[in-house]
């Protein structure tokens, strides 16, 4: 069964701290994509990053970086030097190739609060 | 370039009534998905429309139905509203209906439905 788990419900940091958001997933499919979305108070989900199941190379994009490890089924997301504007709910999501419609399976979300 | 738009922004209905929510996809996108997000939860997939047909459906009762028009816009209808239907309803669009599991979906701001 497909499942995404974000064990951290809420995280609070002080501005300029680094913060890592955890994500663990379950899937039987061998081909899948993992996503991170941000949901600010306005409600609109904003796409941040995407990683496919065949590419475990970790990357950095500006203040964002991610660590994808198939061996532990984890796809963690790090914000470096956090800013107040990073305050939002962050969702990890899974999309499987066998699931031809491309539906996204979301975790419960992690609410990040960055204090000045 | 307009993003995904949804109407109305907020809606209050009484238990047992029917409601219609509307969505216009991002320009150039032909696939529309609907998600329900209860308070404090991650979005749950309702169904997806492509070429005016329901392509995939999540675990939602038949009270939830939809439609896609030739211009790719879509409606979500919910009959016999229950208190538990109170949620944020998100519409997402993606391009190229034939190839979809790896495309990021673009979300609208959502419609906040309150059932009293």
* pLDDT for res B100: 64
Q: What is the DSSP letter of B62?
A: T
Spell out which residues of chain B touch residue A54, defining contact as CB-CB under 8 Å: none
Candidates A94, A93, A91; CA nearest to A111 is A91
In the numeric block, which tokens belong to residue B39? 């308070």
CB contact under 8 A, B100 and A102: yes
* pLDDT for res A60: 73
Per-residue pLDDT tens over the stretch B11-59: 999 999 999 999 999 998 999 999 999 999 999 999 999 889 998 899 9
Contact B32, B92 (CB under 8 A): yes
CB contact under 8 A, B43 and A95: no
Query: How far is the C-alpha of A28 from the C-alpha of A70, rounded, in Å?
Result: 12
Spell out which residues of chain B touch residue A31, defining contact as CB-CB under 8 Å: 101
CA–CA min distance A108, chain B (Å): 5
What's the Rg (C-alpha) of chain A? 14
Tell me the pLDDT of chain A (116 aa) as tens digits.
789 999 999 999 999 999 999 999 999 988 888 999 999 988 899 999 888 888 777 777 789 999 999 999 999 999 999 999 999 999 999 988 776 667 899 999 999 999 99
| Residue of B40, B90, B104 with shortest CB distance to A47 | B104
Contact A91, A37 (CB under 8 A): yes
Query: How far is the C-alpha of A54 from the C-alpha of B38, rounded, in Å?
Result: 33
Q: What is the DSSP letter of B84?
A: G
Q: What is the 3-state secondary structure (H, E, C) of chain A?
A: CCEEECCCCEEEEECCCCEEECCEEECCCCCEEEEEEEECCCCCCEEEEEEECCCCCCEEECCEEEEEEHHHCEEEEEECCCCHHHCEEEEEEEEECCCCCCCCEECCCEEEEEEC
CB contact under 8 A, B56 and A45: no
């Amino acid at each position: 069964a497909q499942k995404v788990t974000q064990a951290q419900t809420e995280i609070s940091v002080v501005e300029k701290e680094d913060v890592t958001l955890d994500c663990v997933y379950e899937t039987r499919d061998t081909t899948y994509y993992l996503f991170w979305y941000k949901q600010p108070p306005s409600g609109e989900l904003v796409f941040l990053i995407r990683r496919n199941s065949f590419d475990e190379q970790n990357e950095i994009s500006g203040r964002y970086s991610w660590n994808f490890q198939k061996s532990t089924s984890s796809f963690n997301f790090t914000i470096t030097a956090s800013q107040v504007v990073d305050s939002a709910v962050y969702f990890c999501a899974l999309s499987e190739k066998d699931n031809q419609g491309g539906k996204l399976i979301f975790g419960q979300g992690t609410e990040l609060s960055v204090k000045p | 370039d307009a993003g995904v738009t949804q109407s109305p922004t907020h809606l209050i209905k009484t238990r047992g009534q029917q409601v219609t929510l509307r969505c216009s996809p991002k320009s150039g996108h032909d696939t529309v998905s609907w998600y329900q997000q209860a308070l404090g939860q991650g979005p749950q997939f309702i169904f997806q429309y492509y070429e005016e047909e329901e392509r995939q459906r999540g675990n939602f009762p038949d009270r939830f139905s939809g439609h896609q028009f030739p211009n790719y816009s879509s409606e979500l209808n919910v009959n016999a509203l229950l208190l538990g239907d109170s949620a944020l309803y998100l519409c997402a669009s993606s391009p190229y209906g034939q190839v979809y599991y790896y495309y990021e979906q673009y979300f609208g701001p959502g419609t906040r439905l309150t059932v009293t």
